[in-house]
A and B are shown apart, each in its own frame.
Chain A
Amino acid sequence: MESPQLSSLYQQLILEHYRNPRHKAELDEKTVEVHMANPVCGDEIRLQLRIEGDVITEAKFLGQGCSISQASVSMMTTKLQGARLEEADALARRFTEMMHGDEHAAADALLGDLRSLQGVSKFPVRIKCALLGFEALQEALQDDRDEVTH
């Protein structure tokens, strides 16, 4: 049926997260919220975290967009529940490396299901879709750090 590249892009796991996104709801008692949008394509998410000490006790999101952006953020929030801040930061960095074609990152068990998005790295114009949630996460982590220092 479709090209091997296309099959690697649209893996079942991605389509499944697109149809049944995890943690897609308003988060009560959030400590940080970041809105991130791609004005070119209209993808957008609102990432909401409750951070207590150095742990993300809960992560949720709201948003709309293509299968890649929405599956990526759905998988990301799954990994974030109960994650320590440094783990969340490492996850964002590792995922970004994978999107930029780093094979070692793509083989890193740390990324879990997120590795199913590796095929996106072969579609340059779609990389930003996969990174949308992680850019929001990095901004949220920065906002949290700013909050603590002030």
Chain B
Amino acid sequence: MNRAFDPAEMRARFPALEQTVNGSELVYLDSAATSQKPREVLDVIDEYYEQHNANVHRGIHELSRRATDAYEGARSKVARWINAHEDAEVIWTSGTTEAINLVAMAWGLDNVHEGDEILISVLEHHSNIIPWQLLAARRKAKLRYIELDEEGRLALDDLDELLNDRTKIVAISHVSNSLGTINPVKRIAEAAHAAGAIVVVDGAQGAVHTSVDVQDLGVDFYAFSGHKMCGPTGIGVLWGKRELLEEMAPFQGGGEMIDIVGRDESSWAALPHKFEAGTPNIAGAVGMGAAVDFLSDVGIDAIIEHERDLMEYAFERLRSIPGMRIFGPTSLDERSAVISFNLGDAHPHDVSTILDTDGIAIRAGHHCAQLVMKHFGVAATTRASFYLYNTKDDVDRLVEGLERVQEIFG
């Protein structure tokens, strides 16, 4: 932590939070969907377009040089943030979803064959299910699932039975977006590697709420998005081990990713550009770099500690509301800054509408995790998610809002 963490001061650094919604000060509890952006990040994006905008790796001119430096500089920042072995292992994508699809296509199509198995879990976001369903269908492979226990944790007792010599890929989320469950990725990676499978991690939430060290986690691919960690939308990262990225065919073809183009065959650019066809989202990358600067300055440990404080407070307050059912792990050690719940027989959409009239933004629905909803026998949940700019006042406002829900649905 570089300086004392003051939640109110932190909140003031995010312009979008300083507004009134439906007559009340905005309380933003939907950061698991997307985070708000600090002034520093917005300024860097503006400055990029106003002063440096040019295409990267093409021009000899000054602006192109500056744009390229900013773009590649951002890559280095992200590489350090996740402790990648080298910058070239960081591939820019449009987000977590594209990053997972990249692995499914560029690694999966060449390495998964009929009768092979792909192991995922019931906890996954649809973005870490559908790419594997598509791959399995094309390769006639079998998709298998790690089940959940009653608290929404992965049931890992039979992991060894689920893994076998046909298992080619294990794809798992670091942190669940719907329940906040933190998964023991390191342990799963060890078991998967012992069985000869590669490990792909959906880090869309993990990169936001945990201190990520891809080398320590021992995984092969780690995918995450800029917009959930104070950066802009439309930019994300696939980190992958060099030896795997080297042996993979390109994902998309086009400019930037080529070396020499012939009539029938061409050769590919070196990493990371082999996987970055077309003019990339330069401003997005630069913005994500600025977000990493911002987060590094605050310190991931300070963020985790603040979120833990908020979660303890929110748990205590929400639990005391009659009719409250909270989903997910009961131990805060096993969960991140997300609380999924249902209140009596009030449907999550009704809860969301009532809270919205108080200026409180939460998410209602299946959270792109229909298998999780099915596991708990519900069609939808209400989800409040927290980030570094939330305060205990936000929790109090949520609780007051839920009391209004009870007055109506009581």
**In-complex Cβ contact of B408 among A6, A66, A125 (8 A):** A6
**Cβ-based interface call for B404 (8 A):** yes
- Rounded to whole angstroms, the CA-CA distance of A67 and B347 in the bound complex is 7
**Cβ-based interface call for A65 (8 A):** yes
A15 and B408 form a contact (CB under 8 A): yes
Instruction: Return the chain B residue nearest A125 by Cβ.
Output: B353
DSSP majority for the A interface?
mixed
**Cβ-based interface call for A145 (8 A):** no
Find chain A residues with CB under 8 A from B20 CB: none
Given contacts A10-B350, A42-B373, A126-B349, contact A3 B357 (CB under 8 A): yes
- Rounded to whole angstroms, the CA-CA distance of A19 and B349 in the bound complex is 15
Which chain A residues in 51-71 approach chain B with CB under 8 Å? 64-68
Q: In the complex, how many residue pairs between chain A and chain B have their CB atoms under 8 Å apart?
A: 55
**Cβ-based interface call for B364 (8 A):** yes
Find chain B residues with CB under 8 A from A9 CB: 353
A41 and B364 form a contact (CB under 8 A): yes
Given contacts A40-B365, A41-B364, A67-B350, contact A2 B379 (CB under 8 A): no
B409 and A6 form a contact (CB under 8 A): no
Most buried by B among A5, A9, A10: A10
- Rounded to whole angstroms, the CA-CA distance of A129 and B349 in the bound complex is 10
- Rounded to whole angstroms, the CA-CA distance of A41 and B373 in the bound complex is 12
Q: Closest Cβ of chain B: how far from A125's Cβ, in Å?
A: 8
- Rounded to whole angstroms, the CA-CA distance of A15 and B409 in the bound complex is 7
Find chain B residues with CB under 8 A from A41 CB: 349, 364-365, 380
- Total interface residues on B, CB under 8 Å, equals 22
- Rounded to whole angstroms, the CA-CA distance of A105 and B348 in the bound complex is 29
B407 and A42 form a contact (CB under 8 A): no
Q: Closest Cβ of chain B: how far from A51's Cβ, in Å?
A: 29
Q: Closest Cβ of chain A: how far from B88's Cβ, in Å?
A: 39
- Rounded to whole angstroms, the CA-CA distance of A11 and B370 in the bound complex is 31
Find chain A residues with CB under 8 A from B350 CB: 10, 66-68
Q: Closest Cβ of chain B: how far from A61's Cβ, in Å?
A: 15
Q: Closest Cβ of chain A: how far from B153's Cβ, in Å?
A: 23
- Rounded to whole angstroms, the CA-CA distance of A5 and B356 in the bound complex is 12
Bitwise, B360-380 to A at CB < 8 A (1) or not (0) is 000011100010010000011
- Rounded to whole angstroms, the CA-CA distance of A1 and B354 in the bound complex is 12
Find chain A residues with CB under 8 A from B379 CB: 42-44, 64-65
- Total interface residues on A, CB under 8 Å, equals 23
Find chain B residues with CB under 8 A from A123 CB: 353
Which chain B residues in 354-408 approach chain A with CB under 8 Å? 354, 357, 364-366, 370, 373, 379-380, 404, 407-408
Which chain B residues in 337-353 approach chain A with CB under 8 Å? 345-350, 353
Find chain A residues with CB under 8 A from B364 CB: 41
- Rounded to whole angstroms, the CA-CA distance of A42 and B379 in the bound complex is 6
B345 and A6 form a contact (CB under 8 A): no
Q: Closest Cβ of chain A: how far from B214's Cβ, in Å?
A: 34
Most buried by B among A10, A42, A43, A44: A42
Q: Closest Cβ of chain B: how far from A46's Cβ, in Å?
A: 14
Bitwise, B67-87 to A at CB < 8 A (1) or not (0) is 000000000000000000000
- Rounded to whole angstroms, the CA-CA distance of A1 and B350 in the bound complex is 17
B357 and A5 form a contact (CB under 8 A): yes
**In-complex Cβ contact of B365 among A3, A6, A15, A42 (8 A):** A42
- Rounded to whole angstroms, the CA-CA distance of A72 and B346 in the bound complex is 16
Given contacts A41-B365, A42-B365, A65-B379, contact A1 B353 (CB under 8 A): no
- Rounded to whole angstroms, the CA-CA distance of A5 and B404 in the bound complex is 14
Find chain B residues with CB under 8 A from A5 CB: 357
- Rounded to whole angstroms, the CA-CA distance of A143 and B252 in the bound complex is 43
B357 and A6 form a contact (CB under 8 A): yes
Q: Closest Cβ of chain B: how far from A19's Cβ, in Å?
A: 7
Most buried by A among B346, B353, B354, B407: B353
Closest 5 CB pairs of A and B: A66-B349, A66-B347, A42-B379, A42-B380, A10-B408
21 of the cross-chain contacts (CB-CB < 8 Å) are A1-B404, A1-B407, A2-B354, A2-B408, A3-B23, A6-B354, A9-B353, A10-B350, A15-B408, A41-B349, A41-B364, A42-B365, A42-B370, A42-B373, A43-B379, A65-B347, A65-B349, A65-B379, A66-B350, A67-B346, A67-B409
